[in-house]
Structure 1
Amino acid sequence: MIHWDAHACLPIHPQASFAPIDALRAYGVNYVSVNVGADMNPVSQVMAVIAGFRATIAASPERYLLASSVADIRKAAAQEKIAVSFDLEGALPLMDSPEMVALYHQLGVRQIHFAYNRNNNVADGCHDMERGLTPLGRRMVRAVNDAGMLMDCSHSGRRSSLDIMEASDQPVIFSHANPLALAEHGRNVSDEQIRACAATGGVVCVSGLSFFLGSDNPTADDVARHAAYIAGLVGVEHAGIGLDICFREEGLDDTPSGDFDPSYWWPASAGYDMEQPPSFTPVETWKLLPAALEKTGMSKEEAALVMGGNMMRVAQQVWKA
């Protein structure tokens, strides 16, 4: 059984500690996709972070394995290591160039979405004016499919996400997004989006963020409830987990350079309170999830699919060794 965390955030800093990754491993996670930047992060910061994270992984081969295939994940699990690859949250680091997708793939990025909350030249964010996927965006989808990278619609606008799922010839995922039917928030996804994702063969991975779960102190039971909703709507084979825990490190400043305005990326009008940041389900959630999922009526085998089997299936199809 492989436990797959579809999205986690370390500080966007090349010297970020991997202690949180060790904690995930200790609580049974076999693979984690680690964010290396979003639309607000300049390319210079993203590249420095990728270089730093790759160096950390290479320096501790007894603990980490930079995964490029599902076979690598199985190998890491057999050796009691944690497999890691990277994800990008937005298309701005692609610099409007589809050729950049293959470059990031070579550097270890295996998952990308095209907009982080706000619109850009490729796609719409979920907290901005709705336009749909642009012509450049359609070229980007082809580049992602050709590179063998997971196409992710988290943080994307409704219409853009539907356009992406229509344009992709591979399964599309939401690496960290929750059902709008259970919690009213602009970052959550409608039943229409969940059904469209499932129609591609993809997976909707539940986030452990308080805002998106509709719980001030989210627990494994809250995560399981959202996963069970997805399973009930489109089938258990389309539900997964991406806890989206944002790990902070004292004394490490990862603020993007330039004219960075947090209130633009996380607008109060969309339900964000910069004075009271969200809470996250703790890392220990991974130990509690199997029982929590079974409490919703899932069998052990179905819970195992949600915990990682479904994402393994999709990655097996999409990733190219």
Structure 2
Amino acid sequence: MIRWEAHTCLPLHPDASFAPLERYRTAGVHYVSINVGMDMNPLTQILPVIASFRAQIAGQPDRYVLPDTVADIERARHEGKLAVGFDLEGALPLLERAEMVALYRDLGVRQMHFAYNRNNSVAGGCHDTPQGLTALGRRMVEAANAAGVILDCSHTERRTTLDMMAHSRQPVVFSHANPLALVDHGRNITDEQIRACAATGGVVCISGVSRFLGVEQPSADDIARHMAYVAERVGPQHVGLGLDIGFGEPGLNDDPPPPFDPAHWWPLAEGYGDGIRQMRYAPLDTWRQMPDALRRMGMGTDDIDAILGGNMARVARQVWGG
């Protein structure tokens, strides 16, 4: 069964090392979605990152594959390779042009959300005034459906997520989000959002970030508890994993160019402190520990395989096609 990491972050710098991805490969993960940009990152930062990541994948064909279909991921798994796709966190890099969605898809972006914590002309962010999906946002949803890009509601406010789910003709996911009922934080999502996501055929992938799990040193058991909460409400077929680890690298500064205000994107009132640099993450080895943690929550083998990859693979087959 495919093991699917729904979201992780290398430094947004063209010199970023792929060493963390090698760790995923050796941990038995078959597909990893890596961030290539957020709303605060200009195209002058995003495009060199995409070019570098694509070049690193192409330059190591014995290790990595940039997949078009789930069948590509399955072939990579059989060959001992890691399939790597990209995700975009926010609509500002789309420059208010719906046709940009297909362009990013051609560059390797396989999933996308339309706001990163703050509002923009397309969608509302989870740390801003609720505004819902705009008329341009509805066109962006249609463009993502047409291009075969998975719509991701992470970092997006409740009203916008419900609008996206109602307007999309394809399943919608949260690639890294946790239940608000377990931890009261603006990044976490309500039971209403969880049910609406499941109603599209989508998946809620639990994040491994300490603040959203409500613990200082996150473990596999902490993540499994949040997974069980979602599974109890909508079934294990709508649960996944997106650890959302932020891998740093000494000597690389991947901050956006000035003017850049971390406190705007990660508000102090939400407990972020110095941007997100103080965040703690569940370790990558959590992937090895998750099967046993889920068994302790009463999950059987079929449910574990679905949660750790099968569910996201099902969505990708439908959205990506092929």
Q: Normalised by the size of structure 2, how large is the TM-score?
A: 0.99
CA deviation map 1:256-315 (0-9, x unaligned)? 012000010000112212287110000100000000011000001111100000001010
2: CA distance between counterparts of 1:179 and 1:303? 19
Aligned match of 1:287: 288
Aligned match of 1:80: 80
Alpha-carbon distance, 1:68 to partner: 1.2
Question: SS of 1:101's equivalent?
Answer: helix
Alpha-carbon distance, 1:57 to partner: 0.5
Aligned match of 1:299: 300
1: CA distance between counterparts of 2:278 and 2:213? 14
Alignment of 1:105-120 (within 5 A): 105-120=105-120
Alignment of 1:9-158 (within 5 A): 9-158=9-158
Question: SS of 1:112's equivalent?
Answer: strand
Aligned match of 1:317: 318
2: CA distance between counterparts of 1:227 and 1:150? 21
Amino acid at match of 1:49: V
CA deviation map 1:75-125 (0-9, x unaligned)? 110001100010000000000000000000000000000000000000000
Amino acid at match of 2:35: N
2: CA distance between counterparts of 1:233 and 1:44? 43
2: CA distance between counterparts of 1:168 and 1:258? 36
Amino acid at match of 1:238: H
Alignment of 1:183 with 2:183, yes or no, is: yes
Aligned match of 2:223: 223
Alpha-carbon distance, 1:174 to partner: 0.2
Amino acid at match of 1:287: R
Amino acid at match of 1:207: S
Amino acid at match of 2:102: A
1: CA distance between counterparts of 2:215 and 2:308? 21
Alignment of 1:278 with 2:240, yes or no, is: no
2: CA distance between counterparts of 1:230 and 1:196? 12
Q: Percent identity?
A: 60
2: CA distance between counterparts of 1:43 and 1:188? 28
Amino acid at match of 1:284: D
Contact 1:208 1:243 in 2 (8 A): yes
Alpha-carbon distance, 1:64 to partner: 0.5
Contact 1:147 1:320 in 2 (8 A): no
1: CA distance between counterparts of 2:284 and 2:297? 21
Gaps of 5+ in 2: none
Question: SS of 1:260's equivalent?
Answer: coil
Alpha-carbon distance, 1:168 to partner: 0.3
Alignment of 1:196-207 (within 5 A): 196-207=196-207
Amino acid at match of 1:297: G
Amino acid at match of 2:142: R
Amino acid at match of 1:319: W
Amino acid at match of 1:303: I
Contact 1:118 1:124 in 2 (8 A): yes
Q: Which runs of 4+ in 1 moved over 4 A?
A: none
Contact 1:10 1:16 in 2 (8 A): yes
Question: SS of 1:232's equivalent?
Answer: helix
Gaps of 5+ in 1: none
